[in-house]
């Protein structure tokens, strides 16, 4: 596709369950980012991939959160033992990877996660 | 650490009026600055970015922003608002491989 896609668009789960959120970046983009956006807030950085490796995971809030990008394209954000506080919109973005500070990031529409 | 402050969580203007969305930043090194727009149920879309070239940056849809180092500001403007400009606008600062977003300003355009 032409843009970044994310699936599912909405996910409702129960407290304590495991969820996976998927991101399909723009073809050819080597950099991929995950953000979390809570209501009334701007995106908050979670993790950054350059290729297959997580170059910066300093934004992951705790060890319940994990992300992978095994082939350097699609990425999956995994959340274990979900809590109500995890409810948010999870955004994925990709960029060419030429320079993290200056790259234009292209965002997907997000996955709205609701933990009951 | 770097940060962004967007003054005014909600801004309302009449169609045809000037749009001014305020953004102030804090950064220990020369920053790169971005404005993104988010329409309902869509991803963030880049409006414009400053990467240390010209201080007056022109973006899409008639928006522009001016980098003022002395004021640590990067305010977004548009001379004449359209109904289609109604959206959420985010300012972001990037330096040392770290990007931080402001909390956003919701722009309402009245007919």
At A12-23, the pLDDT tens digits run 999 999 999 999
The answer on pLDDT for B102 being more than 70 is yes
Q: What residues of B are in contact with residue A100 (Cβ under 8 Å)?
A: 94, 97, 99
Q: How many CB pairs under 8 A join A and B?
A: 57
| Nearest CB to A45 within list B9, B49, B99 | B99
Nearest by CB to A102, which of B51, B92, B98?
B51
Say whether residue A93 is in contact with chain B using an 8 A CB cutoff.
yes
User: Is residue A58 within 8 Å of residue A48, measured between CB atoms?
Assistant: no
In angstroms, the Cα distances linking B41 to A108, B80, B105 are 10, 25, 16
Cα distances (angstroms) measured from residue B33 to each of A103, A109, B58, B72, B96: 11, 22, 13, 11, 13
Does the CB of A44 have a partner CB in chain B at under 8 Å? yes
CB of B77 closer than 8 Å to CB of B20:
yes
Q: pLDDT digit string (tens) for A25-68?
A: 999 999 999 999 998 889 999 999 999 998 899 999 999 999 99
Asked if B103 lies within 8 A of A102 by C-beta distance, the reply is no
Give pLDDT tens digits for B26-76: 988 888 999 999 998 788 999 999 987 789 999 999 999 999 999 999 999
pLDDT of residue A1: 53
| Residue A84 dihedral angles phi and psi, to the nearest 5° | -60, -30
The full DSSP string for B26-59 is: E-SS--EEEEEEE-TTS-EEEEEEE-SS-SEEE-
Q: Which residue of A has its CA nearest to B5?
A: A42
pLDDT confidence of residue B19: 98
Contact check, Cβ <8 Å, B44/A101: no
For residue B77, pLDDT beyond 70: yes
Beta bridge partners of A92: A34
Mean pLDDT of chain A: 93
Which pLDDT band, with edges at 50, 70 and 90, does B5 fall under?
very high
Percent of chain B past pLDDT 70, that is, above it, reads 100
Whether B44 and chain A come into contact, CB under 8 Å, resolves to: yes
Closest CA to B45 of A38, A29, A32, A108: A108
Model confidence at B2, pLDDT cuts 50, 70, 90, reads: confident
Contacts of B4 in chain A (CB under 8 A): 42
Share of chain A above pLDDT 90, in %: 83
Are the Cβ atoms of B43 and A108 closer than 8 angstroms? yes
> Residue A27's pLDDT is what?
94
Cβ of B28 under 8 Å from any chain A Cβ? Answer: no
Pairing of strands A44-50, A106-107: unpaired
């Amino acid at each position: 596709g032409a843009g970044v896609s994310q699936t599912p668009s909405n996910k409702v789960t129960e407290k304590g369950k495991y969820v996976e959120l998927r991101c399909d970046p723009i073809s050819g983009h080597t950099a991929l980012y995950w953000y979390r956006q809570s209501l009334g807030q701007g995106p908050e950085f979670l993790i950054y991939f350059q290729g297959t490796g997580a170059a910066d995971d300093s934004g992951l809030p705790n060890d319940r959160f994990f992300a992978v990008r095994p082939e350097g394209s699609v990425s999956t954000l995994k959340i274990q033992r979900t809590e109500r506080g995890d409810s948010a919109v999870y955004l994925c973005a990709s960029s060419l990877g030429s320079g993290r500070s200056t790259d234009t990031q292209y965002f997907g529409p997000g996955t709205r996660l609701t933990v009951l | 650490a770097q940060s962004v402050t967007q003054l005014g969580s909600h801004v309302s203007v009449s169609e045809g009026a000037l749009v001014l969305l305020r953004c102030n930043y804090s950064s220990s090194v020369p920053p790169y600055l971005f404005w993104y727009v988010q329409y309902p149920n869509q991803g963030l879309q880049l409006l414009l970015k400053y990467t240390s070239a010209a201080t007056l940056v022109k973006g899409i849809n008639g928006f522009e922003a001016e980098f003022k180092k002395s004021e640590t500001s990067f305010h977004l403007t548009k001379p004449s608002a359209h109904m289609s400009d109604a959206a959420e606008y985010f300012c972001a600062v990037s330096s040392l491989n770290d990007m931080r977003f402001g909390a956003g300003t919701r722009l309402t355009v009245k007919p």
